[in-house]
Amino acid sequence: MNLFKSLYIHQRFFTYLSVIVATFIVSYWIEVLYSVAWLLVTIVSVLFFIDLLILFRFKNGITARRLLPQKFSNSDDNPVPITIKNNYPFEVFLKVIDELPAQFQKRDFNYETAMKSIVNHNFEYEVRPVERGEYHFGSLNIFVSSALHIVSKRYRFDTSQMVKVYPSYIQMRKYEFLAMSNRLTEFGLKKIRRIGHTLEFEQIKNYIMGDDVRTINWKATAKRAQLMVNQYQDEKSQPIYSIIDTGRVMKMPFEELKLLDYAINSTLAFSNIALIKNDKAGMLTFSKKVDTIVAASNKRTHINTINEALYNIDTQFTDSDYSLLYATIKRKIKHRSLLILYTNFEHISALRRQLPFLKAIANQHLLVTVFFENTELDELINENAEDLQSIYHKTIAEKFAFEKRLMVKELENRGIHAILTKPKNLTVNVINKYLEFKAKGFI
């Protein structure tokens, strides 16, 4: 029974059978071909059993492993390494078919190679998940053929493996590396000129050529009989919260990724940068109710808490309650904080309904409202209108784009900072705004 489960016959075998059948048919008119047909039957049968024998006489002719990581990074290319060893004493030909998770909707995975006897072969392929959650891999199937290519033996490995897809930790590490090496400008982040200095005193030190003369401490200078200056440092341990709207407006997908997942990836990377800068990072999610609150902390391990909280977030099908958000912030966030609100407004009327609550939050905290450009409209806006219908579509698209810019002005007129961004540029623009506020001493 096991033999039949793992036995597969090549197309070449059926080609041989077709030739034999054709020879038998023609031999009805040409009698001499009857003997040729039986000779072909004998040769093909012998080859079939030889191929069967040399492949199935070895129980573990092939060993293989799929080396899955503990977790995948959402919206990034994640490698899946596979290692194969040929234990046959002769060269074999392999066809590898991996059963990928249903979320990828990919049913044509196929990798073919030839392997010399008693050697290892390593290769990897990449998968790009666009949803968080559990991804279940099926069997790793390897079909082995000899040089005869008549039959194949199937080996199955690593059945039923599961990997969790987390928010983009690859993106987080990329920005972390750039921040630690002071190379953020290489990734499109602006270098912002510091205006003045913050008021957090660090120490008194000897004056060195180039120090700001406005920081000279005249009392210390008189006591030491040499110029002494006050040294200041960036204010630290400032509370910074990422607030994510999980209402229906965040379900809109761009480049296969929902706005919610763009916001989640940005929150993880931005929170990590804030912790590197010694500020306190926290987060909050809301829609009809407040689902998750992670209090701000500056512990380096706090990023793991934020990551676990972000993993379980999903969008709702309801409109978000900004009055509840205001009440929660007033009750839970006592100290003045930087609040990054990830949401989306498609119409200015929707924004105006929430303006009283946003204004009330901005009176107590430094609020930045982040919403998204509809990049799907860019093609309509940039194309040449050649008929009445094209003119109509182009006009409507430009109206929507203009309303987005109008929303930014509306927020700024009310003293609320705003970021209007393409989804793919979200993280860069949020970190830019944070560094700008740090440079200007707003936080």
How would you write 379-443 as a 3-class SS string? HHHHCCCCCHHHHHHHHHHHHHHHHHHHHHHHHHHCCCEEEEECHHHHHHHHHHHHHHHHHHCCC
**Residue 416 CB contacts under 8 Å (≥ 6 apart), including other chains:** 358, 359, 362, 367, 368, 369
Q: Are 100 and 106 in contact (CB under 8 A)?
A: yes
Number of domains observed in the structure of the chain: 4
Q: Do 281 and 346 belong to one domain?
A: yes
Strand 228-233 relative to strand 200-206: parallel, antiparallel, unpaired? Answer: antiparallel
Looking at residue 196, its pLDDT comes to 46
Helix (H, G, I), strand (E, B) or coil at 104: helix
Q: Are 152 and 144 in contact (CB under 8 A)?
A: yes
Q: Do 25 and 83 belong to one domain?
A: no
Which domain covers residue 228, as residue numbers? Answer: 202-233
Degrees (nearest 5) of the Cα angle 378, 382, 386?
130
- At 407, which CATH number? 3.40.50.410
Q: Do 128 and 228 belong to one domain?
A: no
Q: Do 17 and 109 belong to one domain?
A: no
Q: What pTM value is reported for the model?
A: 0.80
Looking at residue 243, its pLDDT comes to 97
Q: Do 419 and 388 belong to one domain?
A: yes
Q: Chunked in runs of 10, what are the mean pLDDT values of the chain (443 residues)?
A: 65 78 77 78 86 88 92 94 94 93 88 92 94 93 91 88 93 77 52 49 76 82 85 71 94 90 95 90 94 91 94 88 95 92 92 94 95 84 79 84 92 93 91 85 75
CA distance 273 to 184: 11
CA distance 7 to 152: 6
CA dihedral for 302, 305, 311, 313, sign (positive or negative):
negative
Domain stops at, among 33, 56, 79:
56
The helix-helix angle for 388-413 and 348-364 (nearest 10°) equals 20
7-9 β-sheet, strand order:
7-9, 151-157, 140-145, 92-98, 111-115
Q: Do 228 and 244 belong to one domain?
A: no
Distance separating the N- and C-terminal Cα atoms of the chain: 72
Helix (H, G, I), strand (E, B) or coil at 60: coil
Measuring CA to CA, which residue among 363, 366, 326, 320 is closest to residue 344?
A: 320
Q: Do 187 and 295 belong to one domain?
A: yes
Distant-in-sequence contacts of 84-87, Cβ < 8 A, 24+ apart: 84/115, 84/120, 84/121, 84/122, 84/142, 85/119, 85/120, 85/121, 86/61, 86/62, 86/115, 86/116, 86/117, 86/118, 86/119, 86/120, 86/121, 87/58, 87/60, 87/61, 87/62, 87/63, 87/118
| Count of beta carbons in the 10 Å neighbourhood of residue 131 | 14
* E runs forming strands in 280-363: 280-286, 290-297, 338-342
- At 142, which CATH number? 2.60.40.10
Q: Maximum distance among all alpha carbons in the chain?
A: 125
* E runs forming strands in 207-356: 228-233, 239-245, 253-254, 257-258, 280-286, 290-297, 338-342
Q: Do 423 and 334 belong to one domain?
A: yes
Q: Do 367 and 403 belong to one domain?
A: yes
CA distance 255 to 425: 13
Q: Do 353 and 292 belong to one domain?
A: yes
Q: Do 91 and 122 belong to one domain?
A: yes
Q: Do 212 and 150 belong to one domain?
A: no
